Amino acid sequence: MMLHKERDKRIRIAILFSLFVVMTGYGVLLPVLPFYVERLSLKSGINQETINLHVGALTSVYSFFQMVFAIVWGKLSDRFGRRRFIIMGLIGFILMEILTGLSTSLTMFYVARITGGILTAALIPVSNAYLSDITSPNNRGKIMGWSGMAISTGIIVGPMAGAFLSRTDLHLSIKAGIFHIDKFSVPFFALIIPAMATLILVLKTLKPDINKTEPSLLYTLGHVNESPKYSLFVLLLFSFIFQFSVTSFEAAFSIYAKSTLLFNTYQIGAGFMLCGLFMAIFQPLFASVKTRMFSDTVKLLAGFVIAAFALVVLPFVNGQIFVYILIVLFATGGAMIVPQLSALISLADGSHTAKNLSLQASVNNAGQILGPLLGAWLIGNLNFIPFLISGGVLIIPVFMLKRWRNQH
């Protein structure tokens, strides 16, 4: 038994580090992307307006292909095992970083993003499924909290690393055929080192695949023997609503903070950093709270209420401190929601854990595509309305959860 616990501990560490590295890679691109796209576009004589469209498209195309292929890899991992798909995701991530760093045209950049989107789509849902396989149902929320912390930490570290590494004083300009290396290539090449180390760690640590063999766990919002189909649909809807609200807020806040609050880039960045930091800290903390003290339904209810309140109130405050307090409050609500939803979705059907978590990843990606589009459009036309809409949408799960709780 002790040997199994030690093995499972090593596996958890390897998988959590994989999630951290890949999400760091996602974050690294954010501060570099506008400048990298501008360099590639100017060579082709593309104007500034079109450059901005390509920045948005290169962000969305990655999420789109992740949305499509997450379900495919999840279903296959339920059938053939987890290990090979986690390895495939890491190899795909390394390949994406290499192709991105070597890109000399927008076409090559799109190929890199699409390739990465397809292959890395396996990583988060299949990794979470593997973590679920080696974790008891009572501790699913806790391990999903640690998974959320790894992801959130990567999102925090990534932009800082990208900004720092792209400002290097190295005057690189190396050409080899269609490939070109310059200072914008440095952040992507730098990531290859930890990614390779993580791949080696995964190859050594993750043994032949662990597949779920116990009966399906008909677990829905803390209750047993209810219809898992209905509960899964509802939980996926909740996940989409939250992800849509988060990304709509992110897109709207940077514009609103610049034009209305008159924040500079440092103040805007600090707001996003606070959001990611408190999400990372609070997720494992709230997920560790025992269900008997704070039930699944109550956690979700409290999380949606707090997050909705923060978004609705935010456009009515002006001071920097008050804005940051509301952002931290929003992150607190999110930290209650995210690991709990992942845990409940993993428990919806014990024989299709990866498929269900992949469905969650896909609906999250759909939210990541739609949220920024609506948030950016509304903030440009109706100023603070995006915050009211995002907050209002978060109220929908509150009414559904209250009704569900009253019925049981």
Q: Which residue has the higher pLDDT, 334 or 143?
A: 334
pLDDT greater at residue 240 or residue 403: 240
**pLDDT at res. 192:** 93
Q: Which of 180-184, 213-217, 306-310, 311-315 has the lowest mean pLDDT?
A: 213-217
How many Å apart are CA 108 and CA 99, to the nearest integer? 7
CA atoms of 158 and 292, how far apart (whole Å) = 37
Per this entry, what is the length of the chain? 408
pLDDT average, residue stretch 116-134: 89
- CATH superfamily label, 1-211: MFS general substrate transporter like domains (1.20.1250.20)
The vertex-167 CA angle with 161 and 173, nearest 5°, equals 115
Q: What is the pLDDT of residue 323?
A: 94
Residue 384: Cβ-neighbour burial (10 angstroms; 0-12, 13-18, 19+): middle
pLDDT for 237 beyond 80: yes
Q: Give 354's pLDDT tier (boundaries 50, 70, 90).
A: confident
Check residues 94 and 33 and name the one with the higher pLDDT. 94
- On average, the pLDDT of the chain sits at 81
Q: Which among 142-151, 291-300, 399-408 has the top mean pLDDT?
A: 142-151
Taking residues 3-18, what's their average pLDDT? 83
For the stretch 46-100, pLDDT in tens is 666 677 677 777 877 888 898 889 889 988 988 888 899 999 999 999 999 999 9
Residues whose CB is less than 8 angstroms from the CB of residue 281 and which lie 6 or more positions away in sequence, other chains included? 149, 335
What is the average pLDDT across 195-211? 84
Q: Which pLDDT does position 395 carry in this prediction?
A: 94
pLDDT for 407: 60
Query: What per-residue confidence (pLDDT) applies to 103?
Result: 85
Contact 273, 399 (CB under 8 A): no
Residue 1 has what pLDDT?
47
User: What's the confidence (pLDDT) of residue 94?
Assistant: 96
Axis-axis angle for helices 83-102, 123-133 (nearest 10): 150
The whole-number pLDDT of residue 276 equals 85
Flag whether pLDDT at 225 surpasses 50: no
Q: Where in the chain is the domain with CATH 1.20.1250.20?
A: 1-211, 214-408
User: CA dist 364 to 23, 38, 219, 277, 309, Å?
Assistant: 15, 29, 22, 20, 22
Q: What is the pLDDT of residue 209?
A: 57
287 vs 274, which has greater pLDDT? 274
3-state DSSP assignment of residue 405: helix
Band of pLDDT at residue 379, cut at 50, 70 and 90: low
Annotation: CATH topology of 214-408 = Growth Hormone; Chain: A; (1.20.1250)
Whether pTM exceeds 0.85:
no
Percent of the chain with pLDDT over 70: 82
Looking at residue 219, what is its pLDDT? 36
Report the pLDDT value the prediction gives residue 114, as an integer from 0 to 100. 94
Segment holding 101, helix H or strand E: helix 83-102
What pLDDT shows up at residue 331? Answer: 93
pLDDT digits (tens, 9 = 90+) for 76-85: 988 888 899 9
Give CA–CA dist 84/107, Å, rounded. Answer: 29
